[in-house]
Amino acid sequence: MKLELVQMAGRDGDTAYNLQRTLDAIAACSSDTDIVVFPESLITGFPNPQNIARLAEPLAGPSLDAIQRAAREHDLAVVCGLTENDQGRYYNTSVLVTPDGIALSYRKTHLWVGEGEAVLPGDRFSTVEWRGVRIGLLICYDCEFPETARALAELGAELLLITDGNMEPYGHVHRTAVAARAQENQVFAVMVNRVGQGDHGLTFAGGSMVANPFGRVLFEAGTEECRHGLCLDMTGIAAARALYDYHTDRRLNLPGERINHADGRRELLVPEGR
């Protein structure tokens, strides 16, 4: 599985600028790339209660239509995020867009401080298979909770793709969290963060990274814009589980309703109140 990580800056509230840079980055991908991953909410930037109605788009809107056309043209999948408008309800959403359309969408379940003033939390975790690998999505603060990655592992995820908008002084937190989520579930975990300045004086931390099923960091970016390609050897999952398997050995089950869909998606619906 060949991935490209695109760590880049964005402009909050400037969808046209962010979308064009995203499309340019997709066009620059290698011909053998399977998936290109971008930071959290890069398409729209982060909204506030005053501009969210203007910025938010439905998943069947113009930005993701353009992303799908690019995915089809370059025969790859794109993981990117935006502020979703679902009939007047707003979510921080990341999607896996393939040449055939949106294969997977995920609404951030764990909202950062103050984020709930603009968007609602999601209520489920989902996975889908793409080119032989079962994939799950997480967003930023989600990765600090062991239960999120465990929910995806329950659904058979082999690769966790985390769109991130982590800011200073918390860059070190996600370095630890992403490696831990990979190690404790014996899967690959990929995090792509934003860099540069944001609204309200924020400085995004960068540090995009890849961790293998042993929790070892295979790649880590700095704090500037960059892109990095690498191939994941998915047989590393079996190697990590050869002597001990956390999924088999654990004694506590994660609650939730598991749903298997005819299109290959798997979902874990979170019980109300959790």
Annotate 43-105 with DSSP letters as a single string: TT----TTTHHHH-B-TTSHHHHHHHHHHHHHT-EEEEEEEEEETTEEEEEEEEEETTEEEEE
Which helix (H) or strand (E) covers residue 179, if one does? helix 171-185
- Residues involved in catalysis: 40, 108, 140
Sign of CA dihedral 108, 110, 112, 115: positive
Q: What is the per-residue pLDDT for 274?
A: 53
Its pTM stands at 0.95
How far apart CA 193 and CA 166 sit, in angstroms, is 7
Q: What is the per-residue pLDDT for 254?
A: 76
Q: Are 208 and 234 in contact (CB under 8 A)?
A: no
How far apart CA 206 and CA 204 sit, in angstroms, is 6
Tens digits of residue pLDDT in 179-237: 999 999 999 999 999 999 998 889 999 999 999 999 999 999 999 999 999 999 999 99
Q: What is the per-residue pLDDT for 255?
A: 78
DSSP state of 41: T
Q: What is the per-residue pLDDT for 113?
A: 93
How far apart CA 181 and CA 250 sit, in angstroms, is 15
Q: What is the per-residue pLDDT for 212?
A: 98
Q: Which residue positions in the chain have pLDDT lower than 50?
A: none
Q: What is the per-residue pLDDT for 169?
A: 96
Tens digits of residue pLDDT in 58-75: 999 999 999 999 999 999
How far apart CA 65 and CA 60 sit, in angstroms, is 7
Would you call 137 helix, strand, or coil by DSSP? strand
Would you call 257 helix, strand, or coil by DSSP? strand
